[in-house]
Structure 1
């Protein structure tokens, strides 16, 4: 499905989709890296998907984002209606929501090449940290 203008969707809706896309990407990447035991997969996935990791990814990616992409991130980061989990502070959670909104937006806008580029950069950033 491609929307004529995904920017018309609420930012939390974009983040909802982006979260699912990122989770699927991470799971497949971990399998590609040779992780096959479920407990190991879960533990390794947390390195990529927790709010603090996503906030770090976003900080790393921001300089490379277009103005339009930064606007989507800003909308996601400023969205109201979500509470931060205990494992992250409010700013980290807001940043992770902005990151997820960007992923959802790129997918719905049909910009799969750019989406894959950012997903690969996100994974490389996490893997460099460990």
Structure 2
């Protein structure tokens, strides 16, 4: 199914609805990268995926994208909408980490709805590169 909404249509969705979709978009990209990086048992694939889809890692990615100044003005607004939404953080992350992760997921959901797949690939690649050496070490374990 291909979705191609206008920015106005996508902005009609709540930040948490966008994050709901963006979480699955981001996780699918993580799973694809892991699978293509190494053929290994499913439990190890899952463990590696969890290390990349957790709030702590996603928060680091969100901060990295902001520090590098790669987000457009519109993308920054979408990210902030998600980040500033009231959420209850799980016990394993801080509220700041969880909010940043929600902002990142919101952005990925928004980009997906507006069919900006190339932009998703660019931003995801920057996220993936963050900690890639550590990831490669985990694959060897």
Gaps of 5+ in 2: 136-141
Residue 2 of structure 1 corresponds to 4
1:40 aligned to 41, 44, 56, which one? Answer: 44
- Pairing of 1:1-130 with structure 2 (within 5 A): 1-4=3-6, 5-62=9-66, 63-80=69-86, 82-130=87-135
When the two structures are superposed, what TM-score results if normalisation uses the length of structure 1?
Answer: 0.93
Pairs aligned (count): 129
Give the Cα–Cα distance (whole angstroms) in 2 for the partners of residues 129 and 121 of structure 1: 15
Deviation at 1:121, TM superposition (A): 1.1
When the two structures are superposed, what TM-score results if normalisation uses the length of structure 2?
Answer: 0.86
| Partner-residue secondary structure (3-state), 2:90 | coil
Deviation at 1:128, TM superposition (A): 4.2
Deviation at 1:38, TM superposition (A): 1.2
Give the Cα–Cα distance (whole angstroms) in 1 for the partners of residues 11 and 46 of structure 2: 32
CA RMSD of aligned residues (A): 1.2
